[in-house]
């Protein structure tokens, strides 16, 4: 039976790489897929991974009816065997409903990849709707790591290297330079709660709630 499957995880856990692997494996077997993405790091209409892999995709701009787009492709004689959606957290909830309709009415598997929560630990609207509607929610097994070595569970936004918890939900930033004007970093819950990024930790900044150290 066709399914709507949501593959979720933090940044740096290989979501886009897995999406590209899904597309490659099915293409090697003669299947053709429809690939959607939104706000990919490589630019509009691209699905890319941090490993340097990239493929063309349809930019799922706000207001685009994903179900109607799939129907149009089939009506024009195009072959569509499955649908892949990367950066699914950025989709509108109504677009997630449209993906569910692709599964139910067109009998196509839909594989959605995205992060669940934003830098404030709040669910993205698209991710929330996927959790509500998906036949399966799969947590990716490649674990991103916090600077301390623990499993990273939270996405942090930094401004000038300092973690922030206020601002617009979607802001483009640099994931490889913590000193950038706007950057992103994955942290464990403890260091996200303490707002301790790798930069602040290396600078020797202590959280205000650390345990006291006894002196002789």
Q: What is the pLDDT of residues 130-186, one digit of tens each?
A: 999 999 999 886 678 889 999 888 889 888 878 898 888 877 655 555 556 888 888
pLDDT at 211: 42
List the single range of 2-6, 53-57, 116-120, 207-211 with lowest mean pLDDT: 207-211
- Can you tell me the mean pLDDT for 77-86? 94
**In whole angstroms, what is the distance from residue 213 CA to residue 150 CA?**
23
Torsion of CA 98, 104, 106, 112, to 10 degrees: 50
Residue 42's pLDDT band, with cuts at 50, 70 and 90, is: low
Of residues 41 and 84, the one with the higher pLDDT is 84
Query: Could you give the angle at the alpha carbon of 61 between the alpha carbons of 37 and 92, nearest 5°?
Result: 85
| HSE toward the beta carbon, residue 132, CA cutoff 13 A | 12
Q: What amino acid positions are annotated as catalytic residues?
A: 87
pTM: 0.76
**In whole angstroms, what is the distance from residue 34 CA to residue 88 CA?**
14
pLDDT at 141: 67
Residue 34's pLDDT band, with cuts at 50, 70 and 90, is: very high
List the single range of 19-23, 36-40, 124-128, 206-210 with lowest mean pLDDT: 206-210
Q: At what angle do helices 93-106 and 125-133 cross, to 10 degrees?
A: 30
């Amino acid at each position: 039976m066709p399914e709507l499957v949501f593959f979720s995880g933090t940044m740096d856990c290989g979501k886009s790489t897995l999406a590209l692997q899904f597309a490659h494996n099915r293409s090697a077997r003669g299947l053709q897929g429809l690939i959607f993405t939104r706000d990919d790091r490589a630019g509009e209409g691209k699905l890319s991974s941090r490993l340097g892999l990239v493929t063309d995709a349809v930019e799922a701009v706000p207001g685009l009816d994903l179900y109607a787009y799939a129907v149009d492709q089939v009506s024009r004689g195009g072959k569509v065997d499955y649908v892949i959606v990367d950066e699914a957290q950025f989709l509108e909830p109504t677009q997630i409903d449209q993906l569910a309709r692709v599964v139910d009415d067109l009998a196509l598997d839909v594989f959605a990849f995205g992060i669940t929560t934003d830098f404030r630990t709040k669910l993205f609207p698209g991710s929330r709707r996927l959790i509500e509607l998906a036949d399966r929610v799969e947590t990716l097994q490649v674990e991103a790591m916090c600077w301390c070595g623990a499993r990273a569970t939270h996405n942090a936004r930094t401004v000038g290297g300092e973690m922030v918890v206020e601002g617009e939900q979607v802001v483009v930033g640099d994931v490889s330079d913590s000193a950038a004007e706007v950057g992103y970093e994955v942290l464990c819950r403890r260091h996200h709660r303490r707002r301790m990024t790798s930069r602040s930790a290396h600078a020797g900044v202590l959280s205000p709630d650390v345990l006291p150290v006894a002196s002789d």
